[in-house]
């Protein structure tokens, strides 16, 4: 073998070795190569591109159980791709959680509120009443303005922090609808229901109870004649209303001087005639609350809670001076 032949042989050997090394390295790391490629593409290879550890946590066998003689098949609740009763919880990272703990609804909702605090509109709730004349439901959005603090009740430890604050206009239908039930003596049927959806944690609260409206002279009516709490503590409720009025933005205060809601539109309404700017006097001092301004309080008695993602449902009822919490089927 001459020197030229020797050179050619060494060169070929070097190329061969380089190819072999490349094949071995590629065989060791196929998933990384595929993953980075296919995550940018929406086409076929995505199916084979998942890293093996992901597959084991993402897909689980359905749980099969017996319930009242029927076979119930439920998909795993821990999957990162699990959905709730509907697709509502699909893309939410918080749906990973699975928490069987039963805690009272008030402690739970405090956490939900804290989690969603930064989302615009997270304090908008829907509240439904019944139109007494037609017995049809009526539903509308209102702003939740926090829980009352230190409500002077006989058993304040248990209920004192559960009363929910909102505001409304004396002239609105919800006030008249409940007034009709009250004046016809049909108090048992005057429950309302509020629904509150927390998108961040995929939770729904349906809160049932009675509404109280607090006006210039205190509560518009009491639900239980033998219960003196409201009447005895009239001053407390009046002070709360006054404080709420003062906390409102100027724009919000002005609404209570608008023309009667729901009647045909008039141009004076657009011009804002006769409306004190910001609900203030000429010196810029906030005026006393007008008769139209009501503090609206919801006294919850039943809370139906549902969390998508792991399909957890719990019902809380106020019974014999305490909250009874029960986990129920979703
Ligand atoms: C985002 C939003 C927030 C609202 N907040 C309140 C509120 O805090 N209080 C209120 O009485 N109405 C509020 N409204 C108006 C109500 O939805 C409803 O139109 C009004 O209360 C009259 O309803 P009614 O006549 O059926 O009682 C709000 C509406 C929207 C869209």
What would the pLDDT profile of 250-307 be if each residue is shown by its tens digit? Answer: 999 999 999 999 999 877 666 677 899 999 999 999 999 999 999 999 999 999 999 9
Neighbour count for residue 277 (Cβ, 10 Å)? 13
**Residue pair 116/201 in contact by the 8 Å Cβ criterion:** yes
Residue 22 pLDDT greater than 50, yes or no: no
Q: Which residues have a Cβ under 8 Å from the Cβ of 222 and sit 6 or more positions away?
A: 230, 231
Query: 191, 206 in Cβ contact below 8 A?
Result: no
Residue 113: pLDDT over 60: yes
Q: Could you tell me if the CB of 260 is within 6 A of ligand 1?
A: no
Q: Are 149 and 142 in contact (CB under 8 A)?
A: no
Q: Are 214 and 221 in contact (CB under 8 A)?
A: no
Residue 2: per-residue pLDDT:
56
Whole-model pTM: value is 0.73
User: Nearest 5°: CA angle at 71, between 69 and 77?
Assistant: 130
Q: Is the CB of 167 under 6 A from ligand 1?
A: yes
Q: How would residue 158 be classed by pLDDT, with cut points 50, 70 and 90?
A: low
What pLDDT does 169 receive?
Answer: 98
User: For 16-20, 45-49, 63-67, which range has the lowest pLDDT when averaged over its residues?
Assistant: 45-49
Residue 1, pLDDT > 70, answer no
Q: Give the CATH fold of the 95-247+291-328 domain.
A: Pnp Oxidase; Chain A (2.30.110)
The closest-lying atom of ligand 1 relative to the alpha carbon of residue 262 is 25
C-alpha 232/C-alpha 224 separation (Å) is: 13
Q: How confident is the model at residue 8 (pLDDT cuts 50, 70, 90)?
A: very low
Alpha-helix runs per DSSP H in the chain: 3-28, 30-38, 46-49, 52-58, 105-116, 156-159, 173-183, 229-232, 234-247, 250-254, 267-271
Can you give the pLDDT at residue 161? 87
Res. 174: pLDDT tops 80: yes
pLDDT of residue 266: 78
Mean pLDDT for the chain? 75
Question: Which of 141, 166, 197, 293 has the most ligand 1 atoms within 8 A of CB, as the residue to mutate?
Answer: 141
123 vs 45 pLDDT, higher one: 123
Classify each residue of 97-123 as buried b or exposed e, where b means 16 or more C-beta atoms within 10 Å of its C-beta. eeeeeeebbbebbeebbebbeeeeebb
The conformational region for residue 316 under phi > 0 = left, psi -120 to 50 = alpha, else beta, is: beta
Measure 142 CA to ligand 1 centroid, in angstroms. 5
Give the separation between CA 7 and CA 212, rounded to whole angstroms.
99
Identify the band that residue 124 occupies on the pLDDT scale cut at 50, 70 and 90: very high
First to last CA, the chain: 84
Q: Per-residue confidence at 184, pLDDT binned at 50, 70, 90?
A: confident
Rounded distance, CA 246 to CA 267, Å? Answer: 29
Q: Is the CB of 128 under 6 A from ligand 1?
A: no
| Closest-lying ligand 1 atom to the alpha carbon of residue 177 | 27
Return the biggest CA–CA distance within the chain.
119
Per-range mean pLDDT, top range of 31-35, 181-185, 302-306? 302-306
Residue indicated by tokens 């001459």: 2
Specify whether the CB–CB gap between 309 and 97 falls below 8 A: yes
Q: Which residues of 237-272 are buried (b: 16+ CB within 10 A; e: fewer)?
A: bbebbbebbeebeeeebbebbebeeeeeeeeeeeee
pLDDT tens readout for residues 205-240: 999 999 999 999 998 877 665 555 666 788 899 999
**Could you tell me where in the chain the CATH 2.30.110.10 domains are found?**
95-247+291-328
Match 């449902």 to its residue by tokens: 313
């Amino acid at each position: 073998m001459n020197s030229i032949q020797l050179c050619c042989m060494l060169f070929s050997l070097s190329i061969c070795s380089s190819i072999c090394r490349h094949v071995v390295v590629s065989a060791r790391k196929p998933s990384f190569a595929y993953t980075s490629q296919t995550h940018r593409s929406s086409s076929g290879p995505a199916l084979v591109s998942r890293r093996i550890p992901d597959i084991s946590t993402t897909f689980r066998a359905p749980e099969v159980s017996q319930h009242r003689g029927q076979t119930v098949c439920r998909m795993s609740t821990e999957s990162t791709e699990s959905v709730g009763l509907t697709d509502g919880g699909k893309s939410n990272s918080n749906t990973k959680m699975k928490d069987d703990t039963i805690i009272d609804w008030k402690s739970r909702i405090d956490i939900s509120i804290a989690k969603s605090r930064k989302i615009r509109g997270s304090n908008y709730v829907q509240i439904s009443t019944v139109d007494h004349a037609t017995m049809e439901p009526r539903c509308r959005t209102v702003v939740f303005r926090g829980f009352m603090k230190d409500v002077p009740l006989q058993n304040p430890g248990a209920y004192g922090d559960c009363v929910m604050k909102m505001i409304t206009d004396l002239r609105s239908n919800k006030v008249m609808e409940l007034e009709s039930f009250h004046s016809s003596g049909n108090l048992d049927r005057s429950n309302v229901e509020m629904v509150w959806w927390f998108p961040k944690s995929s939770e729904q609260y349906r809160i049932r109870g009675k509404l109280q409206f607090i006006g210039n002279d205190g509560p518009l009516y009491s639900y239980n004649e033998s219960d003196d709490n409201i009447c005895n503590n009239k001053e407390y409720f009046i002070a709360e209303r006054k404080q709420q009025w003062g906390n409102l933005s100027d724009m919000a205060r002005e609404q209570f001087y608008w023309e009667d809601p729901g009647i045909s539109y008039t141009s004076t309404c657009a011009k804002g005639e006769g409306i004190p700017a910001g609900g203030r006097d000429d010196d810029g001092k906030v005026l006393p609350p007008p008769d139209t301004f009501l503090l609206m309080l919801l006294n919850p008695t039943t809370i139906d809670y549902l969390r998508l993602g792991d399909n957890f449902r719990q019902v809380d009822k106020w019974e014999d001076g305490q909250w009874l919490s029960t986990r129920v089927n979703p």
